[in-house]
């Protein structure tokens, strides 16, 4: 376990996403409920020290001005995301260039990774961000090794997370680093977050992916896949449900969703397996059958491709039931 930072500095600015701020902050603040644990001193700053208006219209009042902030070795700097449609606020990027390296950890949530990239902090590092702007990050900042799939990425003292709620997962991972797994899981339950997700979990959950198709026949097929992961889900079967030829269906599906039908089915099945591993006491063979896999080995291979670890290890770390 590493030395424990005791300060969290949150950068605020006009257009910031409120959940990118409050989600991780609630995780850090929850440590106050654990007697005997050194909590985190949380401070917020804005470029001029004045209130900022979030993307949802809320007003946040900072504790101070950005220029006065000097992060030390015990500080985690949190850079939340926002709707970046024009130039970046130069006071933010200048401050990050000048003082970011003084922090023990630099953490971005959602599109906050674009601010770190603009400041040059992500050059030569692995990083992620909201899936909608991964291509933009890769295009505008070629020195950054963009990873579009994980919900968060750690590279040395820098950590970047995917869209919005992934910031909660990353904050829980940092608390685990500082105070151990038991405390992190207790905070997750205190906040009614079922369980902390591993960083290499894919950004798309099956339910989110089910909303990506615009055309009704394809959207209906996606919903069918989500609700029936154990059924036969080959292209021929799915095309018949959509009343399309297999070739037309496969082309239309990929055009609408960005993934092949086979890849989408695998995502849904391993996501269903993940939930069963977390919540049920069913054996691996039973879970494999429920998710449409002919045998446990087929499930294991698909699970490792998506989550980077076998089902047995995932259950050991994140399951609440035991077979």
* Active site residue ranges: 110
Three-class DSSP category at 233: coil
DSSP at 53: E
CA distance 303 to 305: 5
Residue 203's Cβ-side half-sphere holds a number of Cα atoms within 13 Å equal to: 21
CA distance 79 to 314: 30
CA distance 172 to 309: 20
CA dihedral 314→317→322→323, nearest 10 degrees, is 30
Encoding tokens for residue 162?
């995917």
Q: Nearest-CA neighbor of 107 among 137, 128, 124, 91?
A: 128
Q: Nearest-CA neighbor of 270 among 232, 314, 238?
A: 314
What does each C-alpha distance from 285 to 94, 176, 263 come to in angstroms? 55, 31, 22
Three-class DSSP category at 11: strand
CA distance 185 to 318: 9
Cβ atoms of 10 and 21 closer than 8 Å: yes
């Amino acid at each position: 376990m590493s030395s424990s930072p005791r300060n969290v500095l949150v950068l605020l600015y006009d257009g910031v996403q409120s959940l990118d701020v409050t989600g991780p902050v609630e995780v850090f603040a929850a440590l106050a409920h654990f007697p005997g644990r050194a909590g985190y001193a949380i401070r917020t700053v804005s470029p001029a020290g004045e209130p900022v208006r979030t993307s949802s219209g809320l007003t946040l009042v900072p504790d101070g001005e950005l220029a006065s902030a000097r992060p030390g070795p015990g500080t985690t700097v949190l850079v939340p995301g926002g709707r970046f449609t024009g130039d970046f606020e130069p006071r933010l990027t200048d401050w990050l260039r000048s003082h970011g390296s003084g922090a023990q950890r630099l953490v971005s949530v959602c599109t906050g990774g674009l601010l770190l990239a603009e400041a040059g902090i992500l050059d030569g590092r692995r990083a992620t961000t909201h899936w909608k702007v991964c291509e933009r990050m890769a295009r505008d900042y070629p020195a950054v090794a963009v990873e579009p799939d994980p919900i968060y990425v750690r590279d040395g003292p820098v950590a970047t997370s995917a869209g919005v709620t992934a910031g909660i997962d990353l904050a829980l991972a940092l608390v685990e680093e500082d105070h151990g797994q038991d405390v992190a899981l207790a905070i997750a339950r205190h906040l009614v977050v079922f369980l902390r997700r591993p960083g290499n979990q894919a950004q798309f959950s099956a339910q989110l992916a089910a909303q990506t198709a615009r055309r009704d026949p394809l959207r209906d097929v996606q919903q069918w896949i989500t609700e029936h992961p154990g059924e036969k889900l080959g292209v021929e079967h799915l095309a018949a449900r959509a009343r399309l030829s297999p070739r037309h269906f496969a082309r239309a599906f990929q055009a609408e969703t960005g993934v092949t039908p086979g890849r989408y089915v695998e995502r849904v099945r391993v996501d269903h397996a993940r939930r069963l591993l977390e919540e049920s006491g069913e054996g691996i063979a039973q879970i494999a059958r429920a998710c449409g896999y002919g045998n446990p080995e087929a499930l294991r291979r698909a699970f490792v491709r998506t989550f980077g670890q076998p089902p047995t290890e995932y259950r050991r770390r994140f399951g609440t039931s035991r077979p």
